[in-house]
A = this chain, B = another copy of it.
Amino acid sequence: MKNIYDIAKLAGVSIATVSRVINGTAKVSDKTREKVLAVINEEGYTPNVFAQGLGTNTMHTIGILVPIITDIYMSNAVYYLEEALHEIGYDCILTCTGFHLDQKEQHTTMLLEKHTDALIYVGSTYAGKGESQHETQYIRDAAEKVPVFIINGLVEGKNIYSTVSDDVNAVYSVVSSLIKSGRRNIAFLSDSASYSARQKLAGYENALSDAMLPVRGEYRIHLRKDDIHYVRDLLIGYRDLDIDAAVTVADSIALGVLKYAKIRGISVPEDLSIVGYNNSVLAIGADPEITSIDNHIEDVCRLTVNRLNTVLSGEGEIEPSVCVNCTLKKRCTTDF
């Protein structure tokens, strides 16, 4: 493996000049630059990243943390993040943390030890349940060392930047539409108490209140997980579920509701309207295809990487938090 000394010798210059050519950090005469570049190409030389890192303390690597990459929303996010980061010259270290605090902490520590240039947390689970500061302390700690970005979660603090979807308005809007079309017993199904889930719930409750409808506890259905069959069976187990609409926080949950309706012989959307979330392939695969809120994950990710680039390049200030609008993708499980 050739090193910078070899290149310098072959090009008849000093290592400093080679370094300058590679990094463009100082003036080098066209003639010598060409000569050096020629040798570099000829020898197929690439700088040793460890030696580079030892001096500069960076390896142009971003740490991405997701709870589970098998989740369609997460894998889409990682896809867009990786693509955008790659475009600006960063590689990604991906790590799946699960949902437990100790694992989130441990994985954060490991990434920081690798001297990643920044951390991106994907998913509102990282913002905690809003119960205590303690559950997000690891994020503030991490932000002492590198800029931290959170997708779909809000944590306040220095060097912490959030990009979130406007879930409140998205749900508010769809619930309002359901009400306007005559629905009165609208259920809200959620499998989490995360930041994002709380936003969606707020949109739901606000819409009901603004329409002078009661916010009834029995219509707020909490799920242990977003598994299709689990949701279906849970609903089947209810004695008297008299809902005429279901707003859910994930397409898989909506799919569970759809299967419940099928088994019970309930017509969708006539007797039961269903709204999914994330506008994933699950909504398209369903029969009938599911109306779903699209939170524009691609936009969220590209915006996040833009903001990251601004911070890391030191080219200016950015907002601590920005919000991206959602849109409703109407399909066949609603009729408004």
Contacts and interface: CB of A to CB of B under 8 A. Distances in A.
Contact of A115 (B50, B68, B70): B50
Contacts of A114: 49, 59, 61, 91
A86 B110 CA distance: 10
Contacts of A284: 228-229
Interface string A33-54: 0000000000000101111011
A70 B59 contact: no
Nearest to A74: B75
Q: Which of A82, A91, A282, A287 has the most C-beta atoms of chain B within 10 angstroms of its own C-beta? A: A91
B54 A48 contact: yes
A323 interface: no
What's the interface size class on A, roughly?
A: 35 or more
A59 to B, nearest CB: 7
A239 to B, nearest CB: 25
B61 A50 contact: no
Interface stretch (A93-101, A188-196, A202-210, A216-224): A93-101
Interface in A260-288: 262, 281-282, 284-287
Contacts of A91: 93, 95, 110-111, 114
A69 B79 contact: yes
A57 interface: yes
A200 interface: no
A113 B285 contact: no
Contacts of A96: 79, 82-83
In the A-B complex, the 7 residue pairs with the smallest Cβ-Cβ separation, listed nearest first, are: A50-B53, A75-B75, A94-B94, A50-B54, A287-B287, A70-B79, A69-B79
A120 interface: no
Nearest to A256: B285
Contacts of A93: 61, 91-94
